[in-house]
Amino acid sequence: MSDSRWIPLESNPEVMNEWAESVGLLEGSAEFVDVYGLDPELLAMVPRPVKAVILLFPLTGGIDDWRKSEDDRIAAEGQPAIDPTVFWIKQTIGNACGTIGLLHALANSDVAYVPESPLQKFIDLCKDKTPQERAHILDSTSLFASAHHSAASSGQTAVPSDLDTDLHFTCFVQAPEASARESQVGTGVRRLIELDGRRAGPVDRGESENLLEDTAAYVKEHVLSRGVSIHFSMIALAGRDSNSGL
């Protein structure tokens, strides 16, 4: 873990949109929006297409231990192969999970960036790097620390004097089956992938026909069931068009 420690980011679409546009997301190509609840009628209010979902949840009620035990199980037993183009960053900076969640959402979506923007350059630079090398680039680049600090300071909640927090961001995206890309034959089957820099790597959450609904189903079964319903929130990255495919 790096010695760096950032201000916790607020789960707020305005904060996230400010961060994204400050580093190069093309205005009007996509935006972060609230997901007001997990019931079908509330999910239907979210603009489509949904390109990524960011979840904020507390690492309490045994959920952190459960996630660590899941990493141990995956290391011992394996999981379905993850599409090799999925972009994942290891978190080494304290309280940087908000920025890493945003990077995971944008880097794994077909959104448009301002040409030669810092965000575009960072993603291009990291493509051929390991997750740890990407973490080092993030830690050694002042740009994202500054963007994070600015966004964290602009939220509705006052900046805390105590930077210790048990709240954590993770991100959900869709990806093709790894075998489909390897064979260069698209099967149409997509997988729900969880991207969390605190984990040992990306986690396959099963087949996915609808990113938002499938994420909501996962949250109901594995997050809310552990008693964290009061302290969770979801933000969706919604775009104007969808160019999915291999």
Catalytic center residues: 97, 168
DSSP three-state, residue 167: strand
Concatenate the DSSP letters of all residues of 44-94 into one string: TTS-S-EEEEEEEEES-TTHHHHHHHHHHHHHHH--SPPPTT-------SB
Q: Of the candidates 178, 177, 155, which has an alpha carbon nearest to the alpha carbon of residue 167?
A: 155
**Rounded distance between C-alpha atoms, residue 43 and residue 63, angstroms:** 24
The alpha-helical segments, DSSP class H, found in 108-141 are 118-126, 131-140
Structure tokens at 218: 């996962």
**Rounded distance between C-alpha atoms, residue 113 and residue 52, angstroms:** 16
